[in-house]
Chain A
Amino acid sequence: NAGVTQTPKFQVLKTGQSMTLQCAQDMNHEYMSWYRQDPGMGLRLIHYSVGAGITDQGEVPNGYNVSRSTTEDFPLRLLSAAPSQTSVYFCASSPRQESYEQYFGPGTRLTVT
């Protein structure tokens, strides 16, 4: 299993541009989440999903959209990038049962200039 994969690893955007961060998992996990981590801080929840077709907002959802058309994929869209969205973005997944453990992807480092 590849686990949780994220692309790209690094991205530089100009203010106002849009882009999609990709996240995929091959463990058939029902729960998936997006977090952002600013320098010297903990991770903050952006959006999460409890299954295909079901998404909801986390702690810091403004400026981001998500969709979950399949169990495997959970893309994060930045609608109009702002410098305040410069951060490292982590995707995570967890199974609904057996364990609450979250499996993190390697992260995407995004810089908005």
Chain B
Amino acid sequence: GENVEQHPSTLSVQEGDSAVIKCTYSDSASNYFPWYKQELGKRPQLIIDIRSNVGEKKDQRIAVTLNKTAKHFSLHITETQPEDSAVYFCAVRDTGRRALTFGSGTRLQVQP
């Protein structure tokens, strides 16, 4: 099955700085790469996603880049704010199971 690795496990930045989280995956046939934000005690919330036919996607302060050759994708958050503090998960759609395989998560702390 699919294997997803996510780094770093924790990330602390100053308000206004940028944050970058990276994920690698194993199945070259994977075609959908979402990022989720999860606040304490809540369900994961989709914040951005990208399909395999696109190299980059941006939504205001959030962007995702995909390198299919190297099998990695990254989440970029610019001008971070304290409300960005949460756990972020990358995921990859397993084409066989039509469900998601998740990374282990990154705890982002934005210091005011």
Contact = CB atoms under 8 A, between A and B. Distances in A.
Q: Do A and B come from one complex?
A: yes
A104 B89 CA distance: 14
Given A31-B99, A41-B105, A58-B99, A101 B44 contact: no
B13 to A, nearest CB: 20
Contacts, number: 58
Of residues B1, B6, B44, B105, which shows the largest number of chain A Cβ atoms within 10 Å of its Cβ?
Answer: B44
B34 A31 contact: no
Interface stretch (A12-20, A42-50, A76-84): A42-50
Nearest to B31: A100
Given A101-B34, A104-B43, A107-B43, A31 B102 contact: no
A59 interface: yes
B11 to A, nearest CB: 15
Interface size class of B (residues with CB under 8 A): 20 to 34
Classify the interface of chain A: helix, strand, loop or mixed: strand
Contacts of A48: 97-99
B86 interface: no
A90 B44 contact: yes
Interface string A24-55: 00000001010100001111110010100000
A37 B43 CA distance: 10
A100 B49 contact: yes
Nearest to A109: B41
Interface of B: 1, 6, 32, 34, 42-46, 49, 51, 89, 93-94, 97-105
Given A42-B6, A42-B104, A43-B102, 7 more contacts: A41-B104, A42-B102, A48-B98, A100-B34, A101-B49, A102-B99, A104-B45
Interface of A: 31, 33, 35, 40-45, 48, 50, 56, 58-59, 90, 92, 94, 100-102, 104-107
23 contacts: A33-B100, A35-B100, A41-B104, A42-B105, A43-B44, A43-B89, A43-B100, A44-B102, A45-B94, A45-B99, A45-B100, A48-B98, A58-B99, A92-B99, A100-B34, A100-B49, A100-B51, A100-B93, A102-B46, A102-B100, A104-B43, A106-B42, A106-B43
